[in-house]
């Protein structure tokens, strides 16, 4: 067999194997991995001791929610932010949730419409064209970003969870995601065929039929929400209140224009994204007529400063991170010092954050809420996190994030404009730079 540059030769393989067998550390690790997971054997328990669930600054929140087998963390985190606002205006300490199913239902319908419209704009191209292919790959997923959440609540309003509770399929979305993708891909095929035959005027009628199927699918699976509902609550003085709302009037009364005050900050230390510049992502969204994604790229220190200002003012913070790394499922800590891969394997996982983004090693994939921070001389040591995985995970559903883990794996935070500098507010208002649909800052939290 010819020797080709780059091929694996047996002499080198035998040398590597011989060296491997001579090192007793490899024998111990190999034996351990026969019966234990890799993360179990590299876990550093002392890291947990240094990451306690005690904070110098903490916001008491309502009980943790549970997204079940769905990728709706961004909706749950967004509604957890809004329910704290609603509770303050209600003057209640009572426990309640806003209907995640209600927002999820219309997110699915709006995303399907967004995907169909994207397909129409690309119908003349081959399905192998990169943008077209990217859209067809996962046209209606569970995931999303903050500005997509804002578009939904502004258009459709809010209601308490009791008025429109979860269904099996709102909590287990695999089957409906498969079916809606089939609807969209079938439409894409028909639209392309009509486009190349010069029958573009017929595409809209085919789209209308596809949307009828989308509505039917999600009304069947998620339910039909009420147009009006009664809401009862007791205020902090135990005075009883009862009022009739529409979803929009409920939103207008208890949230309203406050939703417009938030700005998405990202930390993307890559050469193509200068700091103090704002960005949007092409073909990313849900509500066609809604606001586009708008991320202001800032240095990590500036992101942390804004978050801390909001926390110290008693307001929790929606944020997005990559939870694929250094996550101990058996405890409540996210700490990059909690897993010692190097001692066991001879190599670690750390490389430059910007390079991790550029080379697709890391990107935002989960949204939660920051509800506390431990400060020493004004500098953060660790952060308290409200998750949406139920109370059986973490510490009754809450987690602790070390500050070093924050630096490496937090990519987005949403804060109110009043906690930003004048320069940041001005920068966020500029015409944004457009990024490709597959840019790491366009990944969805789920």
Active-site entry in 43, 66, 73, 163: 73
Return d(Cα 230, Cα 75) in angstroms, integer.
23
387 is catalytic: yes
Tokens of 250: 């409920």
Determine the Cα–Cα distance for residues 129 and 113; give it in Å rounded to an integer: 21
DSSP conformational letter for 52: -
Question: Contact, 403 vs 381, CB < 8 A?
Answer: yes
Q: Nearest-CA neighbor of 66 among 366, 394, 387?
A: 387
Q: What are phi and psi of 279, to 5 degrees?
A: -140, 150
In contact, 282 and 134? CB cutoff 8 Å: no
366 is catalytic: yes
Start-to-end CA span in the chain (Å): 48
Q: Which of 113, 177, 278, 387 is catalytic?
A: 387
Q: Judge contact between 110 and 169, C-beta under 8 A.
A: no
Q: Which residues pair with 295 in a beta bridge?
A: 264, 279
User: Is 383 buried (19+), middle (13-18) or exposed (0-12) by CB count in 10 A?
Assistant: buried
For the purposes of burial, counting CB atoms within 10 Å of the CB of 313, is it exposed (0-12), middle (13-18) or buried (19 or more)? exposed
Cα–Cα distance, 146 to 295 (Å, whole number): 10
Q: 193: number of CA atoms within 13 Å, CB side?
A: 7
Please count the other Cβ atoms lying within 10 Å of the Cβ belonging to residue 46. 10
| Residues labelled catalytic | 73, 366, 387
């Amino acid at each position: 067999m010819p020797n080709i540059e780059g091929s694996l030769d047996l002499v080198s393989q035998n040398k590597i194997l011989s060296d491997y067998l001579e090192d007793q550390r490899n024998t111990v690790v190999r034996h351990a991995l026969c019966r234990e997971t890799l993360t179990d054997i590299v876990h550093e328990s002392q890291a947990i001791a240094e990451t306690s669930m005690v904070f110098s600054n903490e916001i008491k929140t309502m009980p943790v929610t549970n997204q079940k087998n769905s990728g709706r963390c961004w909706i749950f985190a967004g509604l957890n932010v809004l329910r704290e606002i609603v509770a303050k205006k209600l003057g209640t300490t009572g426990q309640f949730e806003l209907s995640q199913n209600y927002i999820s239902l219309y997110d699915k319908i709006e995303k399907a419409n967004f995907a169909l419209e994207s397909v129409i704009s690309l119908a003349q191209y081959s399905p192998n064209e990169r943008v077209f292919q990217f859209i067809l790959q996962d046209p209606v997923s569970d995931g999303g970003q903050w500005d997509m959440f804002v578009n939904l609540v502004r258009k459709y309003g809010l209601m308490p969870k009791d008025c429109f509770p979860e269904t099996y399929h709102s909590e287990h979305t695999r089957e409906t995601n498969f079916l809606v993708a089939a609807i969209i891909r079938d439409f894409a095929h028909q639209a392309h065929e009509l486009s190349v035959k010069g029958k573009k005027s017929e595409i809209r009628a085919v789209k209308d039929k596809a949307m009828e199927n989308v509505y039917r699918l999600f009304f069947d699976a998620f339910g039909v929400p009420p147009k009006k509902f009664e809401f009862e609550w007791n205020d902090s003085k135990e005075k009883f209140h009862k009022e009739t709302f529409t979803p929009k009037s409920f939103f207008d009364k208890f949230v309203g224009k406050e939703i417009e005050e938030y700005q998405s900050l990202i930390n993307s230390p890559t050469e193509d994204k200068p700091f103090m510049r704002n960005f949007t992502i092409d073909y990313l969204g849900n509500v066609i007529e809604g606001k586009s994604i708008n991320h202001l790229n800032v240095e990590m220190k500036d992101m942390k400063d804004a978050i801390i200002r909001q926390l110290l003012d008693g307001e929790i913070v929606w944020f997005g991170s990559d939870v694929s790394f250094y996550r101990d499922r058996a405890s409540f800590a996210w700490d990059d010092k909690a897993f010692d891969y190097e001692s066991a394997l001879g190599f670690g996982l750390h490389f430059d954050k910007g390079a991790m983004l550029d080379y697709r090693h890391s990107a935002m994939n989960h949204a939660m809420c920051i509800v506390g921070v431990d400060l020493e001389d004004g500098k953060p040591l660790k952060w308290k996190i409200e998750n949406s995985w139920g109370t059986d995970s973490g510490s009754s559903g809450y987690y602790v994030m070390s500050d070093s883990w924050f630096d490496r794996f937090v990519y987005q935070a949403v804060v109110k404009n009043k906690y930003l500098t004048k320069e940041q507010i001005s920068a966020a208002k500029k015409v944004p730079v457009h990024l490709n649909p597959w840019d790491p800052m366009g990944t969805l939290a789920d």
